[in-house]
Amino acid sequence: MDVTLLPFNNFIGLKISNKSDYLLMLDNRTEYRNHLDTVHASAQFALAEATSGHFLLNEFSELTDIVPVVRKVETKYKKPATGVVFSKAKFFETERNEVLETVSQRGKTLLKVEVSLFDENEMLIMQSVFEWFVTKL
């Protein structure tokens, strides 16, 4: 599944990153700006949430019988963002093999994905930890 094709993500213009070190991106569009002429917090959050899901789908592409649902999110905005915003993700406090084993044994698990957003100058602008509940169909 391509998360950029989900109706909301498509509507706001999320894209696969044009830089190989990153997963997704938001272009520099006036529609994303706030009253300070920086990237609105909700636009950043939308990018982070989509990145988290994109990361999970890539990591578990062989598991076609699972459903991931966001359970909880912790977010910290580090500095104002301007221009294009890029995203990265990684597992937080767990490893891929642990998750696969737990899902195989119990049919469900909780896992965390850390998402980091960067501006065009590769400065960290936001960091989130998404807790996902993953269950077999």
User: In the structure, what pLDDT confidence band is assigned to residue 100 with cuts at 50, 70 and 90?
Assistant: confident
Residues 93-122: what's their mean pLDDT?
Answer: 92
Residues 116-126: what's their mean pLDDT?
Answer: 97
Residues 7-15: what's their mean pLDDT?
Answer: 96
Q: Give the global pTM.
A: 0.94
> Would you list the domain boundaries of the chain?
3-136
Superfamily of domain 3-136: Hotdog Thioesterase (3.10.129.10)
Q: Which amino acid is at 126?
A: M
Q: What percent of the chain has pLDDT over 70?
A: 100
Q: Which residue has the higher pLDDT, 136 or 88?
A: 88
